[in-house]
């Protein structure tokens, strides 16, 4: 497959589309934001007037939009992918949405002879830019093998974790771990600062041991430099944790730590910080302790 459609050109979608173009794919794009379309076409993409037109021009359509309602709209809604689809088309949703929504969308597409996979990503904007995302895929094995080369042009890791919906289950698990890591890092650095110990030295001391993590290495320097421009916005992590807790409630799985961090992020939303990077939740803990974590 060489003809790819890409719907959704936000913080993540724009660099992902660019990496597809760099890999030699022919890419047809759609976005409601004209500036993002212009940026994609400047790098060689072709603009389409609707998701249906994207589907008609493509062998595989990738969607990268905020949440379940938006995926349903661009895939199943008026002038959506389904209306322009042809039998044998592949649709890969790389958004982070509820697993049940993925299964419902997959069922609707299957009735039209369209293959569907849910393939959410982890890594944020930096890894989207350099093409080293981690992709968690749900779908039939044959479909996964067909689209793997496409996904590999945007990622360092592409893993099939089960049938349709499993990709988003894995992403929900990922978002739990990331959220709790950021919260734990925040509490640790606030404690160190309050105790008069430099957080930079604490970071260097612990990063090579059991407390070390990709999250710590990615977020600790940003926190200490007070750089809270979004790599991943708080409001999007709230959306993901809402899907986590909704799914957990459906399965009767108690997640007390996740629920606690969700309240921290909700407090940040109430303070007008929803557009900031999720590492900025450290300011919630700093406010409680009356300190600021810096180098």
Residue range 108-138, pLDDT digits in tens: 999 999 999 999 999 888 899 999 999 999 9
Is the pLDDT reported for residue 231 higher than 90?
Answer: no
Helix axis angle, 166-194 to 256-270, nearest 10°: 70
In words, the CATH class of domain 169-289 is mainly alpha
What phi-psi label fits residue 12: left (phi over 0), alpha (psi between -120 and 50 degrees) or beta? alpha
pLDDT of 230:
86
3-state percent breakdown (helix, strand, coil) of the chain, nearest 5: 55, 15, 30
| Average pLDDT of the segment spanning 244-255 | 96
Enzyme catalytic residues: 171
Mean pLDDT over each residue of the chain, to the nearest integer: 97
- Domain map of the chain by residue range? 3-164, 169-289
Name the band, by pLDDT with cuts 50, 70 and 90, for residue 279.
very high
End-to-end CA distance of the chain: 49
Domain 3-164, classified CATH 3.50.50.60, yes or no: no
pLDDT of 241:
97
In this prediction the pTM is 0.91
């Amino acid at each position: 497959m060489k003809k790819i459609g890409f719907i959704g050109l936000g913080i993540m979608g724009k660099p992902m589309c660019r990496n597809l173009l760099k890999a030699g794919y022919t890419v047809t794009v759609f976005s409601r934001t004209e500036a993002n379309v212009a940026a994609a076409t400047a790098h060689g993409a072709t603009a389409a007037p609707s998701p249906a037109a994207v589907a008609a021009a493509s062998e595989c359509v990738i969607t990268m939009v905020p949440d379940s309602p938006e995926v349903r709209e661009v895939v199943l809604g008026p002038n959506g992918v389904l209306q322009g689809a042809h039998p044998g088309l592949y649709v890969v949703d790389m958004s982070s949405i509820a697993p049940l929504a993925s299964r419902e969308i997959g069922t609707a597409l299957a009735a039209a002879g369209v293959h569907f996979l849910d393939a959410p990503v982890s890594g944020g904007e930096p890894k989207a830019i350099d093409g080293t995302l981690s992709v968690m895929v749900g779908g039939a094995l044959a479909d996964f093998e067909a689209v793997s080369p496409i996904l590999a042009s945007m990622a360092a890791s592409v893993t099939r974790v089960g049938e349709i919906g499993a990709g988003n289950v894995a992403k929900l698990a990922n978002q739990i771990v990331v959220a709790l890591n950021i919260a734990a890092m925040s509490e640790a650095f606030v404690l160190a600062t309050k105790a008069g110990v430099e957080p930079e030295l604490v970071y260097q001391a612990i990063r090579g041991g059991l407390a070390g993590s990709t999250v710590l290495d990615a977020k600790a320097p940003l926190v200490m430099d007070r750089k809270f421009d979004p790599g991943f916005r708080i409001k999007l992590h709230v959306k993901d944790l809402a899907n986590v807790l909704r799914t957990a409630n459906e399965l009767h799985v108690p997640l007390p730590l996740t629920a606690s961090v969700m309240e921290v992020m909700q407090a940040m939303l109430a303070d007008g910080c929803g557009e900031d990077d999720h590492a900025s939740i450290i300011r919630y803990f700093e406010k409680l302790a009356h300190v600021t974590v810096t180098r």
